[in-house]
Amino acid sequence: MSAADGDDTVEGGAADDVEHQLRLACVLQCAEMAGAMDHVLGMTLEYLGDRYSFGRPLSSYQALKHRLADDKADLEASHAIATAAARAPKRAHTRSPSLATSMVT
């Protein structure tokens, strides 16, 4: 049965390779976003330390400290997710749906 007949399989056994490459691309994108978040949080901390309002650095205000604490928690969660995603392609995903199929539909 060919793809024109409605079969979604890739001839020549390339489906597993395509699936693996899609998983790796997702892992790399996840890691890149975690790194970008880390850099932006660092820039934000530097900005809040450099800027003053009413004679006090912005980083001394409690409301901003609470927001930074939430952002740091989100950053740590994104690092954990990126680490788990990096380990995931090493395991067999026999019971999980095909990533390639889920991206197409």
Selected from 3.40.50.720, 2.120.10.30, 1.20.140.10, 3.40.50.2300, the CATH number assigned to the domain covering 35-89 reads 1.20.140.10
Please check the confidence at residue 65 and state whether its pLDDT lies above 60. Answer: yes
pLDDT at 105: 45
Please check the confidence at residue 85 and state whether its pLDDT lies above 50. Answer: yes
Spatial separation of the C-alpha atoms in residues 43 and 50, rounded to whole Å = 11
* pLDDT category of residue 16 using cuts at 50, 70 and 90: confident
What is this structure's pTM? 0.68
**pLDDT (average), residues 44-51:** 94
Sequence-distant (≥ 6) Cβ neighbours of residue 52 within 8 angstroms: 58
Mean pLDDT of the chain: 81
